[in-house]
Amino acid sequence: MNNANFPDHFIESLANAPGFDAENFAKAHQDQPSPTTIRVNPYKKHTIYKGVQVPWCADAIYLDQRPSFTFDPLFHAGCYYVQEASSMFIAHIMQHIREDDEDSIKVLDLCAAPGGKSTLLSSALNTDDLLVANEIIKTRVPILTDNLTKWGPSNIIATNNDPKDFSRLKNFFDVVLVDAPCSGSGMFRKDPDAMNEWSEGNVNLCHQRQERILADVFPSIAADGYLIYSTCSYSVAENETILDWLCEEFGMESIRIPINKEWGIVETQSETHKAHGYRFYPGKVQGEGLFAACLRKTGNNSGGVSNYKAKNAQKPDYKSIDLLKPYIKDADNYYYFKVNEDWLAIDRIHRDALAMIQQHLYIKKSGIRLGALAGKDLIPDHELAMSLILNKDTVLQTELTREQAIAYLRRDNIPDLELTKKGWSLMNFEGQVLGWAKLLPNRINNYYPKEMRILSESRAKNQE
């Protein structure tokens, strides 16, 4: 690829971008394919693939080749997430800002779909921490909630709101990640079609949108709380210029993140306030284009809602809750509540935060959906099967071969499956849960969610 293949004026627009090397950049796009990386789920550890570790993320590895993830049952079990390597630098930032912090925190991923950075953040959090994963675009929410369900933790709430809605939650979040909509130049190698969308005019529009999003969400950051800002753009206007604006407009303080020189990351500083930023260029790092920075909010917590207590919570239905508890590990650690006919559970420590969020935001997923009670029997939900809170000792488990697992994930008839017991059963592959089925005397009812089933006809046709 030569410069002529890039959009008009693109290379010229980056002439003053820190660390930009036009020749090296063009060569990387021409000669070096985008690497394939996966991040292992620390809650569902399993020997999956072998590879070289991504230097800034302990759970991630580079693969020698791209397998057919769609036809790997462990992918559907949530044992790993396929994610671009550079974007996992967010894990390194989180590790740094939490080094000496043992207090529980509330974290917001503002622009969360499809869920890569949300599951990344989830892996960095403790049970007492809370993650709110928000997606602005309604049609992108289902893929976000599906990926969060597969990941398994119960301390996650997914919402579908505009950034301005979060201004009602003043001083609420200790960390806010804004992976901002941008002009997308960092994805040119991975997605060449992105070049058709790039223009200098679009860069300016993105800059204005980024300022609006950040201004809208800023009130929700607690005093001394952190903003992690990232884009997949190389443009100074969407990166260092935004850092200067944050420092100027809101008095934010730049946080320098330690990096290893061998990683190939370019450390930059904004022109006016010398705020630290981190640039990833293909050809210098083994990954795609990224800009990331971390800033801290200064000021006080006056007018905050962090100490909110639930006043109008549901009265506990102890009789029903007692029927649910046998299915849950450490069952007394959870708050149980109903949404329509379904019972849900979230870590008890997050009850008041959930009530506060319910008051101000549109929630799409909260904690773990357990299922509906029919008399004294639980009709279990897929979320419960995939969760970390399920007490597996209380339910049947059926181990599947790879062929059987693929058939189950397609919702096809499962070949050569011997039925010796009856009732609700987890369907497992290599000990990892895929979902539920109900075993009947002469057949099984497959309860794998229709919207999540494998649709690809063959492995040969499948290209992730």
- Cα(179)–Cα(110) distance, integer angstroms: 7
Was 7 annotated as part of a binding site?
no
Was 152 annotated as part of a binding site?
no
Catalytic residue, candidates 206, 232, 247, 294: 232
Residue 454 carries which side chain, given as an amino acid letter? Answer: I
* Sign of torsion over alpha carbons 330, 333, 339, 341: positive
Helix axes 141-151, 116-124, angle to 10 degrees: 30
Write out the H or E segment, with its range, that includes residue 144.
helix 141-151
Helices (H), 54-134: 73-76, 89-97, 116-124
Was 112 annotated as part of a binding site?
yes
Nearest to 111 by CA among 164, 174, 157, 179: 179
Contact 165, 190 (CB under 8 A): no
Cis ω before 67 (30° cut-off from 0): no
Helix axes 116-124, 89-97, angle to 10 degrees: 30
Rounded to 5°, angle at Cα 271 from 267 and 274: 60
What single string gives the DSSP state of each residue in 226-276? EEEEEES---GGGTHHHHHHHHHHH--EEEPPP--GGG-PEEEE-TTT--E
Rounded-to-5 percentages of helix, strand, coil across the chain: 35, 25, 40
Question: Is 232 annotated in the active site?
Answer: yes
Was 17 annotated as part of a binding site?
no
Helix axes 200-217, 240-250, angle to 10 degrees: 30
Was 258 annotated as part of a binding site?
no
Was 117 annotated as part of a binding site?
yes
Was 113 annotated as part of a binding site?
yes
Region of residue 212 (phi > 0: left; psi between -120 and 50: alpha; otherwise: beta)? alpha
- Cα(76)–Cα(70) distance, integer angstroms: 8
- Cα(118)–Cα(96) distance, integer angstroms: 18
Was 338 annotated as part of a binding site?
no
Residues 6 or more apart whose CB falls under 8 angstroms from that of 270 comprise: 240, 241, 243, 244, 247, 254, 277
Was 294 annotated as part of a binding site?
no
- Cα(110)–Cα(133) distance, integer angstroms: 6
**Alpha carbon distance, N-terminus to C-terminus of the chain:** 24
Was 42 annotated as part of a binding site?
no
Contact 428, 400 (CB under 8 A): yes
For the chain, the residue count is 464
Please identify every residue annotated as catalytic: 232
Binding residues: 111-117, 135, 162, 179
Known binding residues for S-adenosyl-L-methionine are: 111-117, 135, 162, 179
